[in-house]
Amino acid sequence: MTTAFATEAVDGDARTGTLTTAHGPVRTPAFMPVGTHATVKALHPDEVLATGVDILLCNAYHLALRPGIDLIERAGGLHAFMGWDHPILTDSGGYQLVSLAEVATVDDDGAIFVSPYDGSRLRVTPEDAVGYQARLGADVLMCLDHPVAYGTAAEIAREATERTHRWAERCRAAHPGDGWLLFGIAQGGFDAVARRESARFVSGLDFDGVAIGGLAVGEPVETMLAMTEASVAELAADRARYFMGLGTDSELLAAIALGLDMFDCVVPTRLARNGTALTPGGRLSLRNAAAREDLGPIDPGCPCVACTGFTRAYLRHLFQSGEILAHRLVSLHNITHLARLMDGARSAIRDGRFAEFRAERDGRLLATPR
Ligand SMILES: [Zn+2]
């Protein structure tokens, strides 16, 4: 049986491979920039591609509310609508269930969301969630799941995980067929046994990949890694593994070491708009006075347009002046930074030196004074 994911090399539990989609291959480990509203904020799609990423994440729930699935379908699908002819993964809206402000009710049939735009209500069943994403023409569709916030009582978390499993079965039955990949989502709250059981259940439904959901939501890093390790132990080796929402260098490398393949995070672009650049030595605030007369680049080793063309002093000046070019340049840099981290991880895994690569990167973070 052929699967969409092929492993090319393993090093310990870390692995590098390729996820084959209808719009091309995704090299893993892969970082996916987030384009919630069918755009990576402020960036042209060609610029996003030039950072070295293979795939974007868009949010089908937000797009269903605005501008609506019908319009995007008439425009030729999400790829044509947003001018990105490369792989796209869509979020189902499950993550929004954590944010009570946007949810009216959740029951076994599905959820009723309240639009943050106009207060209108949208009922989404597991079948609807898969159907919306398929109509958008996304390459990788995500199941509707029911994550819970950190600190949720164990009993509530258990109910949400059981509901996630029932919804996963219904989403699996609604798989639109060839041309679309459908990923299940394992939950389990913050209990290692529940995490293991959920991963085993969802993995058993024969999805094209499985995501670990409901983590990196404020729990201690040790808890997050323990839950990840428990989950990964039950996931099939021949399917892609996606950690939903992870964006710091050391956490990404820790997850790759456990055998994760795909990641997304809004943080790199959100930080960029706030004037914070990611560097191998950690976060650099371009708004700080230290950057005022610094005529060096953000990262001398980075090939991006921000680092090859502009100084820290200039970027700080742009932020101080409220110029939007600052947002564009630092967003491009931050995405490039994570794309290069993934590239470095892939090479290191192929060469059998991932542990050294990780230790070197973590060492640079620790060695940099804050
Ligand atoms: Zn750069």
Query: What domains appear along the chain, each with residue ranges and CATH number?
Result: 5-265 (3.20.20.105), 272-367 (no CATH)
* Tokens coding 99: 């944010």
Per-residue pLDDT tens for 264-294?
A: 999 999 999 999 999 999 999 999 999 999 9
CA distances from 101 to 82, 114, 115, 331 (A): 28, 8, 9, 28
Q: What percent of the chain has pLDDT over 70?
A: 99
Residue 369 to residues 282, 290, 293, 296, 366, Cα–Cα distance (Å) = 9, 13, 19, 18, 8
Distance 305 CA to ligand 1 centre (A): 6
Q: Which protein residues have a CB closer than 5 Å to ligand 1 (ion)? A: 302, 304, 306-307, 333
Bond preceding residue 67 cis, omega within 30 of 0: yes
Question: Structure pTM?
Answer: 0.97
Residue 326 has pLDDT above 90, yes or no: yes
Paired sense of beta strands 14-21 and 5-11, if any? antiparallel
Q: How far is the CA of 306 from the centre of ligand 1 (A)?
A: 5
CA of 135 from ligand 1 middle (Å) equals 36
pLDDT range class, residue 115, cuts 50, 70, 90: confident
pLDDT band with cut points at 50, 70 and 90 for residue 370 = low
In contact, 212 and 241? CB cutoff 8 Å: yes
Measured in angstroms, how far is the CA atom of residue 356 from the centroid of ligand 1? 24
Chain segment 122-131, per-residue pLDDT in tens: 899 999 999 9
pLDDT tens profile 8-54: 999 999 999 999 999 999 999 999 999 999 999 999 999 999 999 99
Sign of the CA dihedral running 141, 146, 151, 155: negative
Residues with catalytic annotation? 91, 264
Q: Ligand 1: distance of its center to the CA of 12 in Å?
A: 30
CA of 330 to the centre of ligand 1 (A): 8
DSSP string, 143-188: -------TT--HHHHHHHHHHHHHHHHHHHHT---TT-EEEEEE--
Separation of 335 CA from ligand 1 center, angstroms? Answer: 9
- Percentages helix, strand, coil for the chain (3-state, rounded to 5) are 45, 20, 35
For residue 125, the CA-to-ligand 1 centroid distance in Å is 42
